Amino acid sequence: MSDPKQIPEPPSPPSRRAFLRTSLALGGAVGTGAFAGKAAAVESKNLPPNVPEWSQGLGDGVVSRPYGRPSKFEADVIRRDVEWLTASRQSSVSFTPLHQLEGIITPNGLGFERHHGGIAEIDPAEHRLMIHGLVEKPLMLTLEDVRRFPRVNRIAFLECAANSGMEWKGAQLNGCQFTHGMVHCVMYTGVPLKLLLEEAGLKTNAKWLLPEGADAAAMTRSVPIEKALDDAMVAYAMNGEALYPEHGYPLRLVLPGWQGNMWVKWLRRIKVGDEPWQTREETSKYTALLPDGRARRFTWAMDAKSVITSPSPQAPMHHKGFTVLSGLAWSGRGKISQVDVSLDGGRNWRAARLDGPVLDKALTRFYYEFDWTGDPLLLQSRAVDETGYVQPTKAALRRHRGLNSIYHNNGIQTWHVLPSGEIENVEVA
């Protein structure tokens, strides 16, 4: 955890005219001059003015890959884990490569994983969803039965309660893939849980649900009935296709805005009861020990949060001049209404530009364009949601919650940009 002594004066954001001037300078470096002058110095036979090899012969035909995959040149864009974090990989986590992604949709192959007993590999023909307990008519549904209910579509983020948890005591992991990568965002399709519960017929004393996974851990959490009757879904598709096995194929519970461990994967049953079950996942885990010894539990909604994905430690800066800063913001309580960016560790803030759809309980993409002179920077972003909640500093969070916690760290992240363009995870006092 470094504490840079020199906090630079804030560069101004470029006006539209300034952008054009700056990019004209870029054009001067790579435009006419390069076009006319550098071609002769080119070493690769594939660079202009040569005709590249891929223009000289037929490529593979259609359905050479009936289900496509990324270019071999993108082989580094993958989920990664941190081996020392957990004793086994069956109860562990991998991280979304946030620093390499664009927009707000996470490809299905890149969404982070969190398993408690490894990936259940389920034959859908031999999977059932049971709904029982305080209902008039217990149900045992095949997947085809589930698909016969009216369905809905929704783009939603999913964040692990422990995302950024390794950073509670200080800056630790160098890369937003590792500090913030336990979040992804896809379009889910499924049946509103409300319709399944109506089908089963809730008894008047029905107050809580216990969803259970068909994995070896039989992952279970208590969910209050109000959420189940609001916007909860039993989903079978993400981004248009069936759930991937590591995301709960063939069924997962979707609880928009709420912490990921409650979105039970490989969903096999939902028991209806009149009080919470006090499972291991809501007593030993997924509660936070406060400084005074009390436990903070049932912390379901994810607080507003943001992170600058690029530049960041795994995506250093290569150019001075006009620079595109890109990041993600989200809130479990609604839409993002504003994101501010600071280049000087929180002294001065300017409004970022939100681009693309700004949806309820979904990732929101923001940009901030500025001129980088080569001076050191302390990059920060701060999300505000439609309830008026403002993302706090890490210091403010620690004043309230102490240092015993793992969960719900939504403090403002700082990246220290060195004159070399390299970037470090740091904290400012």
Q: Which of residues 343-382 bind a second copy (CB under 8 A)?
A: 355-357, 359, 365, 367, 369
Cβ distance to a second copy smaller for residue 268 or 394: 268
Q: Which CB, 141 or 397, lies closer to a second copy?
A: 141
Return d(Cα 204, Cα 195) in angstroms, integer: 16
- A 10 A CB-CB count for 297 gives 14
47 binds a second copy (CB under 8 A): yes
Angle made by CA atoms 177, 183, 186, in degrees to the nearest 5: 120
Residues 106-135 that bind a second copy (CB under 8 A): 106-111, 113-115, 117-124, 126-128, 130, 132
Interaction between residue 15 and a second copy (CB under 8 A) = no
- Least spacing, CB of residue 380 vs a second copy, in Å: 21
Nearest to a second copy of 62, 429 (CB atom): 62
Q: Which of residues 234-253 bind a second copy (CB under 8 A)?
A: 236-237, 239-247, 249-250
**Does 153 interact with a second copy (rule: CB under 8 A)?**
yes
State in angstroms the smallest separation of the CB of 148 from a second copy: 6
Interface residue with a second copy, options 9, 198, 226, 230 (CB under 8 A): 198
Specify the residue, 185 or 412, whose C-beta has the smaller distance to a second copy: 185
The answer to whether 101 contacts a second copy (rule: CB under 8 A) is: yes
| SS3 state of residue 233 | strand
Within 315-374, strands assigned E span 321-330, 336-342, 350-351, 353-355, 364-372
Helices of type H across 245-372: 280-283
Nearer to a second copy, 309 or 337 (CB): 309
CB 358 within 8 A of CB 386: no
| CA gyration radius, the chain | 24
Select from 5, 6, 61, 284 the one that contacts a second copy (CB under 8 A).
61
Which residue lies nearer to a second copy by CB, 171 or 308? Answer: 308
Q: How far is Cα 390 from Cα 385, in angstroms, rounded to an integer?
A: 7
> Does residue 155 touch a second copy according to CB under 8 A?
yes
Q: Is the peptide bond before 49 cis (omega within 30 degrees of 0)?
A: yes
| Smallest distance, a second copy to C-beta of residue 87, A | 11
Stretch that binds a second copy, among 213-221, 296-304, 339-347, 408-416 (CB under 8 A): 213-221
Residues between 309 and 328 with contacts to a second copy, criterion CB under 8 A = 318-319, 322-324, 326
* Binder of a second copy out of 1, 103, 170, 396 (CB under 8 A): 103
Does residue 156 bind a second copy (CB under 8 A)?
A: no
| 334 sits near a second copy (criterion: CB under 8 A) | no
Q: How far is the CB of 252 from a second copy (least distance, A)?
A: 13
CA-based nearest residue to 251, from 185, 170, 188: 188
Q: For residues 123 and 143, what is the distance between their CA atoms, to the nearest angstrom?
A: 11
Dihedral of CA atoms 308, 312, 316, 322 in degrees, nearest 10, equals 20
- Judged by CB under 8 A, the chain residues 69 through 98 that form the site for a second copy are 69-74, 77-81, 88-90, 92-94
Among 18, 34, 290, 418, binds a second copy (CB under 8 A): 34
How does DSSP assign 248-285, residue by residue?
Answer: TTT-EEE-TTB-GGGS-SSEEEEEEESS----HHHHTS
Which residues fall within 8 angstroms of residue 26, CB to CB, at 6 or more apart? 321, 322
From 19, 300, 349, 389, residue interacting with a second copy (rule: CB under 8 A): 19
Does 58 participate in binding a second copy (rule CB under 8 A)? Answer: yes
Rounded Cα distance, 352 and 426, in Å: 22
Distance in Å, CB of 335 to a second copy, minimum: 13
226: Cβ–Cβ under 8 A, 6 or more apart, which residues? none
- Please say which residue, 263 or 266, places its beta carbon nearer to a second copy: 266
By the rule CB under 8 A, 292 interacts with a second copy: no
Position 137 contacts a second copy (CB under 8 A): yes
Q: Is 260 in a helix, a strand, or coil? A: helix
Calpha distance 83→312 (Å, rounded): 21
Q: Does 221 bind a second copy (CB under 8 A)?
A: no
Burial of 421 (0-12, 13-18, 19+ CB in 10 A): middle
Q: What's phi and psi for 347, nearest 5 deg?
A: -75, -45
Residue 186: CB partners within 8 Å, gap ≥ 6? 105, 106, 108, 111, 155, 156, 158, 238, 239
Q: How far is the CB of 13 from a second copy (least distance, A)?
A: 12
The size of the interface with a second copy (CB under 8 A), counted in residues, is 134
Q: How far is the CB of 219 from a second copy (least distance, A)?
A: 11
The residue written with tokens 């409300």 in the block is 194
